[in-house]
A and B are shown apart, each in its own frame.
Chain A
């Protein structure tokens, strides 16, 4: 079954404590990305990766890091989380970057609360 799996699904953490949200896809997709979803703001792209070792900033990259060492994995790192990073996070993947020609598959989301 085609899947994008992210963990943890729910997390409460404290300001400044580094955390990593993992993401893995089993579809051999080249393109992966991270979004955050906030009320009234919708889905906003944080970072994306076109392939292994190729990453770039999306619309709201501040406070986040990513890495793409393997094709299937694309972790999101919050080095020093702050309360304004409290949000619902989605990892997504698609065969290539061509947004017009590919279905984007989303994970089930990670609810992050920073206190």
Chain B
């Protein structure tokens, strides 16, 4: 079982839709959670960063962590074609300072 699981998609939505991207994880030692965005033929770039449980909002993006169910979510409001990318969730095992990535979900936002 992978430590961080993510549906590969693709997830296709029309422009303006609310998008929900999700991950589950298995290791209770994970304390920090991140979302990376990866455009085609580019390296991943950090999008959002949260510690422990709760929500964090940044513009159209909201990251949510529910540690009781080991569930990580990223919500995108008013999605745009420029949001079309692969979204990678990641979790940090602070004991080993190791970053564990999900496999990524490909998002397609059509005009």
Name A's B-contacting residues (CB within 8 A): 4, 40-43, 45, 90, 92, 97-100, 103-104, 106-109
Contact (Cβ within 8 A) A109 B43: yes
- Does B82 touch A at the CB level, under 8 Å? no
Number of A-B contacts (CB under 8 A): 47
Contact (Cβ within 8 A) B97 A43: no
Contact (Cβ within 8 A) B92 A40: no
Interface SS majority for chain A: loop
In the complex the two chains form, what is the Cα distance from A47 to B45 in whole Å?
Answer: 20
B interface size (C-beta, 8 A)? 23
A106 contacts which of B45, B49, B102 (Cβ < 8 Å)?
B45
Given A106-B44, A109-B41, A109-B42: A42 touches B97 (CB 8 Å cut-off): no
Contacts of A107 in B (CB 8 A): 43
Task: Apart from A98-B97, A100-B32, A109-B43, list 9 A-B contacts with CB within 8 A.
Answer: A41-B103, A42-B2, A90-B44, A97-B97, A100-B97, A103-B46, A106-B43, A108-B43, A109-B41
